Amino acid sequence: MPRTTDDDDRELLVAARADAAAFGVFYRRHVREVHAYFRRRAASPDVAFDLAAETFAQALRSVDRYEPGQAPARAWLFGIARNVLLESLRRGVVEDRARRALAMEPIVLDDDALAALEREDAARPATEALEELPGEQREAIVARHVDGLEYAEIAARLRCSESVVRQRVSRGLRVLRERLREAPRG
């Protein structure tokens, strides 16, 4: 997964003033992270989803006032998320003023969608730990345990020996186990 830079996000938000598609890219980059932020703080997945939706609606309404600076654009977004959360706690209800102003229809989550969000939340620590591994280890683990390739196939793809592939997989899995043991339980 390609990493984005803070500059990329700043440019997207500036472009979003005139181009809604730019905001869509920014949204897709950060929606999972914003939802995860709320999921750790909300009583249920659907409340977390509503809070995330309101956050992005407020961000879209505020994009003209966004001032690119030293802070990452995601800090601006999470400032909005924090305010949305605090306001919902203060009022005891998720605000939807920005969504209504944008004439956004409410999103109704069925049981399947809620279950998918729960599975995603449960997998998040492993996914994040995998992303933090060195590229060679991550690539070898994904090829072996996600794609189901044999060590010989992986070695040919990576242009190295099978023993190197085995070593990368073994070391990477050991680091993943350690990180997951250390990860806070939600």
Predicted pLDDT at 178:
87
Structural domains present in the chain: 6-109 (1.10.1740.10), 133-182 (1.10.10.10)
Residue-level pLDDT at 18? 92
DSSP sequence for 111-157: HHHHHHHHHHHHHHHHHHHHHHS-HHHHHHHIIIIIS---HHHHHHH
* Residue among 24, 184, 60, 50 at smallest CA distance from 117: 50
Of the candidates 53, 59, 57, 60, which has an alpha carbon nearest to the alpha carbon of residue 35? 53
Q: Give me the count of residues in the chain.
A: 186
What local confidence, expressed as pLDDT, does residue 7 receive?
A: 77
Which tokens go with 105? 């229809």
pTM above 0.85, yes or no: no
User: Is the distance from CB of 52 to CB of 31 less than 8 angstroms?
Assistant: yes
What pLDDT, on the 0 to 100 scale, is given for residue 105? 63
Return the residue matching tokens 């919902």.
88
| Vertex 41 angle, CA 47 and 126, to 5° | 105
pLDDT of 152 reads 94
pLDDT (tens digit, 0 to 9) for every residue of the chain, 186 residues total?
344 567 788 999 999 999 989 998 999 889 888 888 888 888 777 788 888 888 999 999 999 999 888 778 989 999 999 999 888 877 765 666 655 565 666 555 567 766 776 676 666 677 777 888 888 998 999 899 888 899 999 999 889 999 999 999 999 999 988 888 876 655
Quote the pLDDT of residue 3: 46
In the DSSP assignment, the letter for residue 43 is S
- Nearest CA to 33 out of 47, 59, 16, 52 is that of 52
